[in-house]
Amino acid sequence: MPPTPQPTVRSSAVDDGRHPAPAPRVPALACAGLCTLAFGLLLALVALRWGPLMSVDRALAGVLHRTAVEASGWTRLSRMLSDWLWDPWAMRAVLAGAVVLLVRRGQRLLGVWVAVTALVGTGLQQVLKAVVGRDRPVWPDPVDSAHYAAFPSGHAMSALVAGALVLWLLRLGGARPLWRRTARTVVVVSVAGVGFTRVYLGVHWLSDVVGGWLLGGALVAAAAAAYTGYVPRRRGTAPHGG
């Protein structure tokens, strides 16, 4: 009787040559498409200054600004969170640390992919700000200030891009469920928190924040789908989930 073959051990995080197992491609493509369509619609409404959208933006900004003027303690906390913890440069530092870690682990392609995605996001938001040229809210009694044009929100987009990329890397790396749940909670709180503080501090309209979220989601989903499609072809295998 031939000997019974023994099962082989395969890491869920890294396959041959330390390549991470790619995530399904189809959901990422669908997410990228939906976010792009939604962002395109919002961009058109902002550019056309669609009345109902402008009314909602002004009404919410007015209510939150009055609260920010009266609640100085909450306003100081919001400024600290928005200007330091959730600042775009802090988000870029997080991604820079992730890229360094990936390179040290021998995953140079993935590190380059993350770095390029972050750089494209920064460039894209700045180009759109210049093209759209939307004015920020103007108050007689401002509680904070910001530079450049308003749409889309750089803070909102940077937080979503950094958070989504970190979650994607944890999934690719086969991180434990506890780590992934903890990271997901931190990312959700950070993305929602920075969006709220930018409107609360009177430096953005709500649609600026939503635009940053949608554009960031489209970018990361497209990058994930492209990576998932490229890596199997580079290794000579069929794409997963395609």
pLDDT of residue 219: 97
pLDDT in tens, 74-90: 999 999 999 999 999 99
Tell me what pLDDT residue 203 has. 96
d(CA 153, CA 72): 24
Tell me which of 91 and 147 has the higher pLDDT: 91
- Give the residue from 149, 159, 161 showing the smallest Cα distance to 197: 159
Whether the bond into 5 is cis, omega within 30 of 0: no
pTM: 0.84
